[in-house]
């Protein structure tokens, strides 16, 4: 995905004052031409192709269906519905989300506000989460399971006076040694050919029932599962019926095993998660699973991932509209 919106903004900033109006008028003309040349899309309500142009709504071409008589625009029932930004801005936001670019940089390259960039990014994340809910990732063959931990974060929120811990600054350490309830446990599973799963379900070490809740329906019965010997993963083997091997019992070291029996791929995935987590200067715990799902998709992905995500967001075969309220209330992690 190549977006040049930042280059366009930089060029406009350097134009002489008398040329700015000419540039704006030229862009307006191009916007009108693009609406005229754009092919008609099927009705998102009844899927009929018998649609007619029906004026313009907030700068977007409006259509009316000759079957159900309902009106719609290009973005109706998509993630981009109600947005004032065009495809170029959305593609830039998608690319920045995949690349782990901070929101402040996204606002500079697109010209949108920080709050708008935040909402757009989380609409992208919610779209990915919806895809995962409808078509869950299933791992098999040889796969590695392990847990990783991140400190609880209330980034963006004010801590209540009666909260169980005191506020801490970015980069501060946990008050207790070892894995305590200050940490959020992220259960991860990765197939050695690349498909990955990451989900936070509890504080500290996940329990047996929580491990089964994450992986119970997402591991093939014929899979060979390599893990660090946790009894929780043994319970998963009994639940699914797959083979579970403790890499340490097979001669592996505490660094993750050796030879064929190792969990080095899982450890690499953990390093990727921690790197992105630090890149964002922390992620609010309530949004953690949105980002976990993103990390699972991005880890060892190809350069076409932003295009695939954008196509998913803009597809209109189902109601994918996400409101501003959904961003701050839908599928939050509350533990």
Report how far residue 207's alpha carbon sits from residue 190's, in angstroms, rounded to the nearest whole number. 19
CATH number at residue 282: 3.30.420
| pLDDT band per the 50, 70, 90 thresholds, residue 46 | confident
3-state SS assignment for residue 197: strand
* Number of domains composing the chain: 1
Strands (E), 77-182: 142-151
Question: Does residue 327 form part of some domain?
Answer: no
Residue 250 or 60, more confident: 60
Q: What is the pLDDT of residues 206-217, one digit of tens each?
A: 999 999 999 999
Q: Which long-range contacts (CB under 8 A, 24 or more apart) does 200-204 make?
A: 200/285, 200/288, 200/289, 200/292, 200/333, 200/335, 201/335, 202/335, 203/152, 203/335, 204/149, 204/179, 204/180
In a domain, 179, yes or no: yes
Residue 231: inside a domain: yes
The domain containing residue 212 runs over which residues?
A: 137-304
Question: With the C-alpha atoms ordered 299, 320, 90, 114, is the resulting torsion angle positive or negative?
Answer: negative
Q: What is the pTM of this model?
A: 0.83
Is residue 165 assigned to a domain? yes
pLDDT digits (tens, 9 = 90+) for 97-151: 999 999 999 998 888 999 999 999 999 999 999 889 889 999 999 999 999 999 9
Kindly report each contact of residues 57-60 with a partner whose C-beta sits within 8 Å and lies 24 or more positions away, as own/partner. Answer: 58/84, 59/31, 60/35
Identify the pLDDT of residue 21.
81
Whether 85 is covered by a domain: the verdict is no
In a domain, 79, yes or no: no
249-293 residue pLDDT tens = 765 555 555 678 889 999 999 999 999 988 888 899 999 999 999
Contact between 114 and 273 under an 8 Å Cβ cutoff? The reply is: no
Q: Considering the domain boundaries, does residue 265 fall inside one?
A: yes
Tell whether 11 is covered by a domain.
no
Decide: helix, strand or coil at residue 245.
Answer: strand
Contact 186, 273 (CB under 8 A): yes
């Amino acid at each position: 995905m190549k977006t040049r919106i930042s280059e366009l903004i930089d060029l406009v900033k350097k134009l002489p004052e008398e040329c700015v109006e000419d540039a704006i008028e030229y862009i307006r003309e191009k916007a009108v031409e693009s609406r005229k040349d754009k092919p008609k899309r099927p009705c998102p309500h009844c899927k009929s192709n018998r649609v007619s142009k029906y004026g313009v709504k907030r700068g977007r071409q409006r259509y009316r269906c000759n079957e159900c008589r309902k009106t719609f625009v290009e973005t109706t029932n998509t993630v981009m519905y109600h947005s004032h930004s065009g495809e170029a801005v959305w593609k830039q936001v998608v690319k920045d989300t995949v690349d782990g670019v901070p929101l402040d940089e996204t606002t500079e390259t697109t010209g949108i506000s920080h709050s708008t960039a935040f909402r757009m990014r989380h609409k992208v994340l919610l779209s990915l989460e919806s895809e995962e809910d409808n078509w869950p990732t299933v791992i098999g063959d040889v796969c590695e399971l392990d847990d990783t931990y991140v400190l609880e974060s209330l980034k963006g929120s004010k801590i209540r006076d009666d909260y169980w811990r005191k506020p801490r600054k970015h980069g501060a350490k946990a008050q207790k040694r070892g894995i305590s309830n200050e940490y959020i446990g992220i259960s991860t599973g990765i197939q050695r050919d690349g498909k990955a799963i990451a989900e936070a379900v509890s504080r500290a070490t996940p329990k047996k029932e929580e491990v089964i809740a994450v992986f119970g329906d997402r591991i093939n019965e014929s899979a060979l599962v390599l893990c660090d010997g946790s009894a929780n993963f043994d319970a998963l083997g009994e639940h699914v019926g797959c083979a579970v091997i403790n890499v340490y019992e097979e001669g592996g070291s505490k660094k993750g095993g050796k030879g064929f029996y190792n969990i080095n791929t899982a450890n690499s995935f953990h390093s990727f998660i921690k790197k992105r987590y630090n890149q964002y200067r922390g992620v609010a715990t309530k949004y953690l699973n949105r980002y976990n799902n993103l990390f699972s998709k991005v880890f060892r992905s190809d350069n076409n991932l932003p295009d695939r995500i954008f196509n998913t967001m803009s597809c209109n075969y189902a109601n994918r509209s996400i409101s501003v309220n959904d961003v701050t209330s839908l599928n939050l992690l509350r533990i």
